[in-house]
Amino acid sequence: MNKILLLGLAATLAVGAIVWNASGGSSSSSYSDGSLTASETDFDFGSIPMSGGNVSYPFTLTNSSNSPVVIEKVYTSCMCTTASVSVGSASPLGPFGMPGHTPSAASLTVPPGETVTVEAVFDPAAHGPAGVGLAERSIYLDTNSASSPKVELRFRALVTN
C-alpha cells in the first residue's frame, strides 16, 4: 500500500514539473489580448566619441488595445546599456540592465490607451579602447501579451576615439 502511495505521489510531482517547465516556469496565470506597439524599434546615435559620456534615447510604446498589458521583465543585451521604464506620467522604474547583473522583474501594468517610455542609456566607454567601432545593442520587454510577448528595441552607435 505504501509503495502505491509513493508511486502516486512521485507521478503527481513529475507531471507538475512537466507542466511547470512547459509554461517556461512563468507564474503569470493569464495572457492579455492587448499588445504594446512602438512608434519606432530602431534608433541610430550615429558617430559618438568614447569620451563624450553616456547617450540616451526615449523609445515610446503604446497599448492601443482594449486590454491591459503587464510588462513582466526588462533587460538589456549588454552591461554597457541600461533602461528605465515609465508608464504614463509615473516615475520611472529601473535602471534595468543585463540579466545576472541587475534585477529584471518589472510588473508594470499598462492600461489600454496608455503610453510607455523606455529610456535607453548607452555608455560608449564601457568596453574601453577595444570598444571602438560599431555597437549594436537591444532592450527587451517581456510581457503577458499573447500576440507579442517580447518587444525588442534596438539601437546602434559608431564609437570613436
**Residue of 54, 49, 56, 45 lying closest to 129 (CA atoms):** 49
**d(Cα 76, Cα 106) in Å, to the nearest integer?**
13
Q: Where are the domains of the chain?
A: 27-160
Q: Which three cell numbers stand for residue 76?
A: 538589456
Kindly write down the DSSP assignment for every residue of 97-121, as one continuous string: -SBTTB--EEEEEE-TT-EEEEEEE
Which listed CATH number (3.30.2450.30, 2.60.40.10, 3.90.550.10, 3.50.50.60) goes with 27-160? 2.60.40.10
pTM: 0.81
**Residue of 19, 75, 13, 81 lying closest to 45 (CA atoms):** 81
**Residue of 76, 85, 91, 86 lying closest to 123 (CA atoms):** 76
Kindly write down the DSSP assignment for every residue of 51-101, as one continuous string: GG--EEEEEEEEE-SSS-EEEEEEEESSTTEEEEEEETTSPPEEEE-SBTT
The reported pLDDT for the residue numbered 19 is 39
Using CA atoms, how far residue 7 sits from 10, 15, 19, 20, 74, in Å, is 5, 12, 18, 20, 41
From first to last of the 161 residues of the chain, give the pLDDT tens digit: 566 644 454 444 444 444 334 444 444 558 999 999 999 999 999 999 999 999 999 999 999 999 999 999 999 999 999 999 999 999 999 999 999 999 999 999 999 999 999 999 999 999 999 999 999 999 999 999 999 999 999 999 999 99
The reported pLDDT for the residue numbered 14 is 46
Using CA atoms, how far residue 123 sits from 55, 97, 133, in Å, is 7, 12, 13
User: Under a CB-based contact definition with an 8 Å cutoff, are residues 159 and 48 in contact?
Assistant: yes
The reported pLDDT for the residue numbered 2 is 61
The reported pLDDT for the residue numbered 27 is 46
Radius of gyration of the chain (CA): 20
